[in-house]
Chain A
């Protein structure tokens, strides 16, 4: 395999994986838990792989429009929040156009998030991570407790499983972010500027 072919294959890998998901979508959307806990995160994560695999992550093309990754991360947060609405989930099952919009927007959200993450500082990253996963955690708890049927296409007895899946993703996401803070950003290894300045003062 020539390096060129290899690069092309890697660049196409996320798109191929998304295409491979297509025949599985009736199974994935058969229960609320699989839809919210497997299909939606899979689309987002494949989207995350897109910029790096295609080499677009280093492209300066849209950098001027995405200083500190702010619009990109905001778009990713809003998109993932949107598809947690029961009414939106119903539409995605009942209408072909909305199903297509769901796939396109979640893959795009993953790509925006991955491309914008390195541009954002720790504070901005923390803002989006805490807001996003807190929203997911709250939605998951609400889904488990809701006394009414939330979706037209899913029974009320599927809501607790879907809620648990959301809680699991939120906890996993927060844990991964803490690990990222400790190992990559190394924030826990740095001394606070103020205390080190104070310590330097005799």
Chain B
């Protein structure tokens, strides 16, 4: 009797543990939050909401403008421009994508967007200066931040980016190279050092 009950209890524990591990790792697909976000976005692409942005030229735009029907694919990163660590990798990835898009004649099909989560420092003038330094083609690569800092949390939660002050005046944050697909949905996330993978996947998609 007690052997059967113990077997039952052991099976119940094993089943619960399996469910808990599978839940938090999205079916054993990821152990880090970035990996979990990647799996979540791929499984359920996210619609782009109306979120007021302002770009390097001081023009207003909506994030949902990038969801227009038959719009080009957009590679997006979230950064703050004073960042000296992972944002440099994000920026060099996007630079590489810009040169590839030009070289392959894909300008009508793909474009780039850099979103800053530091609107207090990254004003339109700072965004424009940064774009010039990176030799960004304004027709291909836009730099923008939230028009209303109160909307920052909405933007971060849409992309699943966690930003924490690092105690040295900067921020600690996770990063990814996001893809807004041809249907205007936030559809994929790649590691920031794999723009090649992001581009190859888009080229393979019919």
B153 → A minimal CB distance (Å):
13
0/1 string, A53-73, CB within 8 A of B gives 1: 000000000011111101100
CB pair B162 A63 closer than 8 Å: no
CB pair A82 B31 closer than 8 Å: no
0/1 string, A70-103, CB within 8 A of B gives 1: 1100110011001001111011001000000000
0/1 string, B161-195, CB within 8 A of A gives 1: 01010100000101000000000000000010000
B104 within 8 A of A: no
Which of the 9-residue segments B14-22, B42-50, B144-152 touches chain A? B14-22
Q: Complex Cα distance A181/B162, Å?
A: 46
For B35, list chain A residues within 8 Å (CB): 87
A149 within 8 A of B: yes
User: A155's contact among B10, B13, B17, B172, by CB below 8 Å, is which?
Assistant: B172
Tell me how many residues of B have a C-beta within 8 Å of chain A: 31
User: B1's contact among A64, A78, A151, by CB below 8 Å, is which?
Assistant: A64
0/1 string, B1-39, CB within 8 A of A gives 1: 111011011101110110011001100001111111000
A152 within 8 A of B: yes
B34 → A minimal CB distance (Å):
7
Tell me how many residues of A have a C-beta within 8 Å of chain B: 27
CB pair A75 B17 closer than 8 Å: yes
For A68, list chain B residues within 8 Å (CB): 6
CB pair B24 A78 closer than 8 Å: no
For A90, list chain B residues within 8 Å (CB): 33, 162
Known contacts A71-B10, A82-B24, A152-B174, A64 near B36 by CB under 8 Å: no
Which residues of B come within 8 Å of A, CB atoms? 1-3, 5-6, 8-10, 12-14, 16-17, 20-21, 24-25, 30-36, 86, 162, 164, 166, 172, 174, 191
Which residues of A come within 8 Å of B, CB atoms? 63-68, 70-71, 74-75, 78-79, 82, 85-88, 90-91, 94, 148-153, 155
